[in-house]
Amino acid sequence: MNYFHRAFYRTLQLLCALLILQAVSSCKTGQSTDDWPTVGPVYLKLFQDGKTIHLRDMSTYKMKRMPFSLIFPLREYNDAKDKFHSARISCSESSKLHKINEGGNLDSANSGMPFFARGTGLAPSANGKYDALYITDYPSHHYITYHSKQSNLQRAELVKKIDDGHYEVMLDISKINIKDRDIPIKKSKNKKLYFIVFMDDNLNRVADQGELLRFAIEFGK
């Protein structure tokens, strides 16, 4: 074997070793290296019919009129330590929902954040989860939490553990609720739904940069 062959095989061995180390590191956290960006708290994926879409702020996605899921990382809710981590999700048929911008303060009367203010959280069903996606034009939001040991705080399904106190969860949506009436998505008539998601990652009750995500879903026929 000449010098060039030996150099080639040494380079190949080094590359294989680096790939193995990277895979081991990913397995330790339960997170693949390209699952979630490393900066910012609000990242969502939309899953339907075997396909996954990474959602972007102020974007619209065309979908089939059938059940879908929202998948996102969420820090553990721990009231004993005043760690009230949650995903606040509002949904409306009005595009006015997307006029909510970063910088709003939840404790200010004129914050521009009425859908996430105190007292606007929607009550879950008796099982602790939301059986339907509530479509409203008045200030309200789904208050999604996850706790590894308290089932009453598991308002989304666990997908996997990312690291200590940090989980990937999934919110399954098969029905919508309009005027207190549950309707299967397949029988719904909504053409377009507007979403806004707020995750107060640093718990300062302000919508800081990267803590809001606005998107819309447009249903096909």
- Do 97 and 134 fall within a single domain? yes
Listed in sequence order, the residues at least 6 apart from 54 whose beta carbon sits closer than 8 Å to its beta carbon are: 43, 44, 45
- Do 22 and 55 fall within a single domain? no
- Do 19 and 62 fall within a single domain? no
d(CA 98, CA 194): 7
- Do 99 and 18 fall within a single domain? no
pLDDT tens track for 164-174: 889 999 999 99
- Do 2 and 59 fall within a single domain? no
- Do 138 and 188 fall within a single domain? yes
- Do 65 and 136 fall within a single domain? yes
Per the structure, the count of domains in the chain is 2
Segments forming the whole domain that contains residue 17: 1-30
- Do 22 and 2 fall within a single domain? yes
- Do 132 and 87 fall within a single domain? yes
pLDDT band, residue 118 (cuts 50/70/90): confident
d(CA 5, CA 133): 61
| Apex 133 CA angle, 130 and 139, nearest 5 | 100
Mean pLDDT of 161-184: 94
- Do 62 and 24 fall within a single domain? no
Quick one: the chain helix, strand, coil %, rounded to 5?
A: 20, 35, 45
pLDDT band, residue 129 (cuts 50/70/90): very high
Sequence-distant contacts of 13-22: CB under 8 A, at least 24 apart: none
Percent of the chain with pLDDT over 70: 80
- Do 134 and 163 fall within a single domain? yes
pLDDT band, residue 218 (cuts 50/70/90): very high
Nearest to 158 by CA among 71, 40, 78, 38: 71
DSSP 50: T
d(CA 83, CA 2): 62
Percent of the chain with pLDDT over 90: 64
Q: Amino acid identity of 102?
A: E
pLDDT tens track for 7-62: 545 555 544 444 444 433 333 333 333 454 444 557 899 999 999 999 999 999 99
- Do 6 and 52 fall within a single domain? no
Torsion of CA 12, 14, 16, 18, to 10 degrees: -150
Listed in sequence order, the residues at least 6 apart from 181 whose beta carbon sits closer than 8 Å to its beta carbon are: none
User: Which stretch of 5-14, 84-93, 102-111, 150-159 has the lowest confidence by average pLDDT?
Assistant: 5-14
